[in-house]
Amino acid sequence: MAGCRRGAAAVAFALSLLATAVQAQPATVADAGESMRAAASLAVHWGDFAEAERMFKAMRERQRRTASGQPESTPLRQGFEQGLEPGRGLSVRQAEQTVAMTAQWAHQHARSPLAHVLHMSALSDLAWAYRGSGYANTVPPQAWGQFRSALDRAAQHAAKHADVLLSDSLGYRRVLFLAKALDWDAKRIQAIYEQAVERFPDDDSLHFARLNNLLPKWGGSARQVDQHIEAVVKRTQATRGLALYAQLYTDAAEDQFSQALFSDSMARWERMDQGFVDLTASYPHRQHFNAWAWIACQAQDRKRLLELLDKIGPEPDLNQWGSNAQQTHDTCKAWAQRL
């Protein structure tokens, strides 16, 4: 019992340090995203719902962005979801326990959108635990039934608690992913997205969630991706320039097109390049310069790539260089420096 108390005290102390670090960071000066993500993950993993709710409410009141330009809701959401599903997936038994835990949270905090979002996330994790990670033709019929049943439970929960769930953009984002998994009609999904961005115009994650739905690997097409991105730019260009054009197409490259971005999609380098100019003018964060360099290499713009490699220096952020990142960075650097 004493060991458990010491463990709980250590967790509480770690959370307090991380929370203090987050509170101490001024908006867009130092990037508190990693600290927020870690604190959120710990809170959910250890079932400290009071701390998770405190962080969530503080984020909603501040409405700030991190130094990389993302809303604070993004690292918090990522941390909460990581706390539910640490590592590479859950077993069915673990997922069922997480569903039970979040169901209790949602029952006790019926007016909390976060509680309902995470219960739906837990049900989605359960669905994928039933299905497994293999190709569709390796999934037995019984597993497909369990997969669909868990997602249906999430949809029923969303319908029952829609007034609370959709009071926050995180709720809309979760519904967008659920809608695609359940193969809802495309017009219905688009209507949900349009309502979401009308109510929460500053949450960029909604644009990325809709983009994911439109990728060819999920039944969309390169044209649908381009139409979506151009529509987002039309909404945001007055204040953001082409920044979201660059970010959304970079995300599409990471999720699907990879090194074939300029052959398999409708991305245009001159618009992406200007988008990164606009983005880094407001948020000169190293991750953006690294992503810019990765895309410049794909576009075979040696001059721009050399400029960016010089700015990045000897320690690249390999999280921004796609798959096989170290090899990609080294190959691009060797090509750019070749006389």
3-state SS string for 87-145: CCCCCHHHHHHHHHHHHHHHHHCCCCHHHHHHHHHHHHHHHHHHHCCCCHHHCCHHHHH
Instruction: Specify the pTM.
Output: 0.85
pLDDT digits (tens), the chain, 339 positions? 444 444 344 334 333 433 333 333 333 434 567 888 999 999 998 889 899 999 999 988 887 888 888 888 888 999 998 888 765 567 899 999 999 999 999 999 999 999 999 999 999 999 999 998 788 889 999 999 999 999 999 999 999 999 999 999 999 999 999 999 999 999 999 999 999 999 999 999 999 999 999 999 989 999 999 999 999 999 999 999 999 999 999 999 999 999 999 999 999 999 999 999 999 999 999 999 999 999 999 999 999 999 999 999 999 999 999 989 999 999 999 999 985
Is residue 120 within 8 A of residue 170, CB to CB? The reply is no
Is residue 296 within 8 A of residue 329, CB to CB? The reply is no
3 state SS of 324: coil
User: Under 8 Å CB-to-CB from 324, ≥6 apart: which residues?
Assistant: none
> Could you give the CA distance from residue 226 to residue 232 in angstroms, rounded to a whole number?
10
User: Which single residue is written with the structure tokens 């960075």?
Assistant: 329
- Helix then strand then coil, in percent of the chain rounded to 5, is 75, 0, 25
Task: Please give the distance of CA 308 from its chain centroid, rounded to a whole number.
Answer: 25
3 state SS of 187: helix
Token pair for 169: 């953009």
